[in-house]
Structure 1
């Protein structure tokens, strides 16, 4: 009988040295992993669950696996190198279209914090202060403006391309993969990119460095609603359907820990949350940048994790378009709120 990588991950290390450990410790030794990328405050909820000890409380030995773009979580989950992923809601839909059906377990963001668009400082100074004006710009060689998402197919790409397409400007820009801040920022400064997609923390850093300015900002009231019709699942925690079917107790424990982290963030002052995550994860990032990103969700989200059917259906605008490779998907086929409901009932 062969054992798949996923079955081995679910089993964890509990089998190793089983005869040497008491039963109570064995019950607490299930290994789990959460994949996402890059290391940014937008993905802080898993970090908070770890630092507050919620994973341990639920009998889990959790590991965070990070990459350079949002697509890393999707790729790592698909490869069987992680049990859970944190990323754009389009990613589990993309995996389902590729024969790896997923279940979305809860949302961690309902207004997109990374649909913001920044242009080079010199372009902004020349009067390019809107999406429309950026689309009209021509590079010195006559080429279309270059806009960088973290990766082609990433959440920044899904939302960014839609912003242009919604204005009839989809064919007026060239999209490239820019990676994380270590490549995005200098490429904007050196004019390799004319614009970049940016979460709030990047906006703070880029503007402080004088590399660029924001021309599309979803933190401003009405901006996201105007283009997308209202709140929709943006960032989600998801797993393969196989994992749900093979170990419901493990999935429940994981959702419990994440839900408790959300409840903590909702109740705690922003400064307390920032003080918790900064030493281990964000010590090299401008504190104002970390605060901006953590504060975005404080002002736009209820921290309940809920995805209802109307919100999911609003996702049709950015998801089901040419180039996304996402077929129309029924809410019931991909969203499973049962684990979240159980967590909310347990931790009222």
Structure 2
């Protein structure tokens, strides 16, 4: 599939730190660094903005950088080595708690797509087919089962641990971070871990290879609503307030490009989306990625809004002992003005 990029003027409202006053500007080929954690479709809006040419049309000369995990992505943003990151909404909250004033620019989804508990196939075949059965089992050396996530404190860990905590099972396993797609799958294949918490593409590949089986699907809408209660912003595009202050017009360009990418995803098939983002998600098979993209289309937030009710639902997950995040208000976390401007410039 070929994509032809065109340069066009980007209308923005410039001025202020979190809000923009009237005026027009054009970002002329500003260099930018966009950071994503690992090579999975959940981060597809960044990939689409790059591949379809929306970053270029906004006058940005962007380099997409794989952080290696959500936590590493946060660290890159915190050090101002990246302009905008994507990851769990708790990352900008963590930044704020540590004096760096993190800001959510726009949400990505309405529930998590990456809380699938994938158990080793040999354990599943032994009859360990529930979380309760898993936590009753011991490794040959007597230790607790090992549950792998991409990074401790990242999306998989935050939401998986909440499920386990609610069920009274979180202290009956050992959590470890295993990094990117290759190392996550490798740890399951070699039985270094007993369960991997990740997304549909990794579940599908592990099943096809005979390494894994589905133990618990925390992405299922019925399960999500039972434990979480409804729509919650899980993944978000985020940055620092200081980065916004440095160049609000540049940040508007980023958000406008990402908003347009979100609308592109809404109107294209999973196959078309995969063809566009394939260079970024080649570690897993086409079939696995298309399955995940199909699931993502059902949970994507095409309005890119965070309301008080959704934020309140998330508070019980975000602000607890496991995360160590001190409570913040929606106004202290979310900077909605940029996506509001983008929405007016490119109505859905």
Give your verdict on TM over 0.5. Answer: yes
Between 1:295-304 and 1:88-97, the stretch displaced more is 295-304
Match status 1:126 vs 2:122: no
* Cα distance between partner residues in 2 of 1:118 and 1:78: 32
* Cα distance between partner residues in 2 of 1:177 and 1:282: 20
Task: Identify if the C-alpha distance between structure 1 residues 302 and 235 changes in structure 2 by more than 3 Å, giving closer, same or farther.
Answer: closer
Cross-structure match for 1:57: 57
Deviation at 1:302, TM superposition (A): 4.0
Length, aligned pairs only: 322
Which of structures 1 and 2 has the larger relative contact order (alpha carbons within 8 angstroms, sep 6+)? 2
Q: Secondary structure at the match of 2:99?
A: coil
1:92-148 Cα offsets, whole Å, 9 max, x none, are: 101111110111011112211111111111111111111121111111122111101
- Contact 2:135/2:173 (<8 A) preserved: yes
* Cα distance between partner residues in 1 of 2:258 and 2:178: 30
* Cα distance between partner residues in 2 of 1:55 and 1:120: 41
* Cα distance between partner residues in 1 of 2:331 and 2:87: 20
Cross-structure match for 1:13: none
Match status 1:298 vs 2:314: no
Between 1:192-201 and 1:221-230, the stretch displaced more is 221-230
**Structure 1 residue runs without a partner (length 5+):** 1-25
* Cα distance between partner residues in 2 of 1:254 and 1:295: 25
Cross-structure match for 2:167: 167
- Contact 1:36/1:72 (<8 A) preserved: no
Cross-structure match for 1:209: 209
* Cα distance between partner residues in 2 of 1:301 and 1:151: 23
Match status 1:154 vs 2:132: no
1:148-181 Cα offsets, whole Å, 9 max, x none, are: 1111111111111111101011211111111122
- Contact 2:117/2:218 (<8 A) preserved: no
**RMSD after superposition:** 1.4
Cross-structure match for 2:335: 336
- Contact 2:113/2:299 (<8 A) preserved: no
Deviation at 1:225, TM superposition (A): 1.4
* Cα distance between partner residues in 2 of 1:244 and 1:82: 12
- Contact 1:97/1:325 (<8 A) preserved: no
* Cα distance between partner residues in 2 of 1:183 and 1:284: 11
Deviation at 1:284, TM superposition (A): 4.5
Cross-structure match for 2:310: 311
* Cα distance between partner residues in 2 of 1:216 and 1:77: 32
Cross-structure match for 1:327: 326
Deviation at 1:301, TM superposition (A): 2.7
TM-score (norm 2): 0.89
* Cα distance between partner residues in 2 of 1:93 and 1:302: 20
1:25-46 Cα offsets, whole Å, 9 max, x none, are: x951211111121121111111
Task: Identify if the C-alpha distance between structure 1 residues 192 and 141 changes in structure 2 by more than 3 Å, giving closer, same or farther.
Answer: same
- Contact 1:66/1:72 (<8 A) preserved: no
- Contact 2:86/2:236 (<8 A) preserved: yes
* Cα distance between partner residues in 1 of 2:334 and 2:192: 40
* Cα distance between partner residues in 1 of 2:281 and 2:169: 36
**Structure 2 residue runs without a partner (length 5+):** 1-25
Q: Secondary structure at the match of 1:315?
A: helix
Deviation at 1:250, TM superposition (A): 1.3
Which segments of structure 1 move beyond 4 Å, counting only runs of 4 or more?
none
Q: Secondary structure at the match of 1:292?
A: helix
Q: Secondary structure at the match of 2:214?
A: strand
* Cα distance between partner residues in 1 of 2:42 and 2:220: 18
